[in-house]
Amino acid sequence: MTPAIFALVDCNNFYASCEKLFRPDLANTPVVVLSNNDGCIVARSKEAKQLGIKMGVPLFQAQAKMRQHGVVAFSSNYALYADISQRVMNTLESLAPAVEVYSIDEAFLDLTGIESLQSLNDFGLMLRENIQNWIGISVCVGIAPTKTLAKLANYAAKKWPKTQGVVDLTDKLRQRKLLALVPVNEVWGIGRKLSSRLAQLGITSALQLADADPNFIRQHFSIVVERTVRELNGESCIQLEQVIPSKQQIISSRSFGKRITEKEHMQQAISEYVNIACKKLRQQQQQAKFLTVFIRTSAFNPANNILSNSKSMALEMPSSDTRVFLNAAMQLLESLWLANFSYAKAGVMLSDFYKPNQCQLGLFDQKAEQRLAGDKLMQLIDSLNNKKDKTIWFASQGTKQDWSMKRGYLSPAYTTSWLELPKVK
C-alpha cells in the first residue's frame, strides 16, 4: 500500500492580501484589517507585522503608530474574502487529486502517488506559482506523511524565506531536525494550557513530544494528544475529510454600531439576522425546528444596567422559510424586550436540523401545499438576491439601519458587485 502524503496550503496574511489584491498602490504598504465595528486589528500584512503591530489590539491604541508609519486600515470585507477563498480552493481542486477545505484560507491536499510523477517540492512550487499567477494570492505549502507534520512543514515554509514557501517533510531525518527547532505550542492541537502542562513534564519542543511514550501521554492527557504523538512520528491517524459535515446550528449575531434603545430598531436587527441565518440554512439544504433569540447590553455598563436574556421556540414543523422564522422571532422579542436599556448586541440561533422532506408529517396536516409554495418563493428570492444583494428584502428589516455595524474603512465589493468592479485607467 502506498504511504499517504498530505500537503497543507495556507494563504499568507489572507485578509490583508485580499485587500491589496485590487490596490497595486499598496503593494509595499503596511495594511491592517479590523474586526466588526472597526474595533480591533484582526489581520496584518507582512509590513504591518514588521512594525510590531500586534494582533487583537484595539484600533485606538495603535492609531498613533499607524499614522507615523502610514499604515492603511480596512474594515472586514467578508464577501470579498469568501469569493477569493473560493477561487483559491477551486484552483487547488483543479490541480490536486483530493482537497479538504480546512478554513477560509487553508486546505489539506492528498498527494499520495504524486511523487512517482514529479518531485513533491516541485509540485508545491507549481501550486504556489499557479495560485499567484491566476489569482494573485501568495501561499505556502507544507508536505508530509501526516496532517500534523504537514502543518509543521507549512509553519517552516512561512518562517524561513530560504524555503521559497515550500517544505517537503517526508524525509525522517528532516522531520526530526525541524521538530527540534519548533516549540511544542506550535504543534497542531497543542494550545496554551496543554503546552503549560507538558512543560511541567519537561516537554517544551515538538521533538520531545514526538519522543514521549504514547501510552503515557494517553493516560495523563487524552487519546487526542496520543494521536498527535503518533502523527509527529509519521503515523497517519487523521484522514482527509472531503465531505464537510453539516453544521448542527447556525448563529447570526452582531454588535451594533451604536446602542439600540428603540424596539423598532431591535425588530429590524433581529429581522436582518433571521434573514441571514435562514439563507445559510437553505444553502446547506437544511430545515430547522428550533429558534433562539437573544439580546444583550454591554458588559461594560454600570452593574445595575446589565441585561443578557434569551428565549426559544420550537416550530410545529421544520422549515427554512424566512417568513416563518420572522413571525416566531417577533413573538420571542416581544417577550424579551425591556425598555430603558441600551442594547449592544443581539442575535438568533437556528438548531434541531432536518433534511427537507425527512420529517414525519401529521396525519391531518393541512399546510403541506402552503409550505411547498413557501419553499419555491424562498428559492426565487435567493436566486434574485444572488445576482444583486438585497434586490428583495422583508419590510421588517428596515431600510436605513443606523444601528448596523460600523464599517468606516470598507473596501469595494470588487468581485461580487457589477457597480463596484475595479476600474483600470
Q: What tens digit of pLDDT does each residue of 214-243 get?
A: 999 999 988 999 999 999 999 998 888 765
What CATH number is given for 171-237 in this structure? 1.10.150.20
Over residues 189-195, the mean pLDDT reads 89
Give mean pLDDT, residues 324-340: 92
Which residue spans of the chain are classified as CATH 1.10.150.20? 171-237
- CA 412, distance to chain mean position in Å, is 20
**pLDDT tens per residue across span 377-412:** 888 888 888 777 777 778 778 777 766 767 778 888
**pLDDT-derived band of residue 419, with 50, 70 and 90 as boundaries?**
confident
User: What CATH architecture applies to the domain 1-168?
Assistant: 2-Layer Sandwich (3.30)
Q: By percentage, how much of the chain surpasses pLDDT 90?
A: 55
Residue 95 has pLDDT above 80, yes or no: yes
Model pLDDT for residues 14-68, shown as the tens digit of each residue? 999 999 999 999 999 999 999 877 888 999 999 999 999 999 999 989 999 999 9
pLDDT at res. 334: 92
Residue 360: pLDDT over 60 = no
Confidence of residue 245 (pLDDT cuts 50, 70, 90): low
**Whole-number pLDDT of residue 304:** 55
Q: Where in the chain is the domain with CATH 3.30.70.270?
A: 1-168
Highest mean pLDDT among 348-352, 361-365, 390-394: 348-352
Asked if residue 255 has pLDDT above 60, the reply is yes
The grid coordinates listed for 404 are 448596523
Task: Give the CA radius of gyration of the chain.
Answer: 25
At residue 35, the pLDDT reads 85
Considering the domain 249-361+368-397 in this protein, what is its CATH number? 3.30.1490.100
Range with lowest mean pLDDT among 13-17, 175-179, 318-322: 318-322
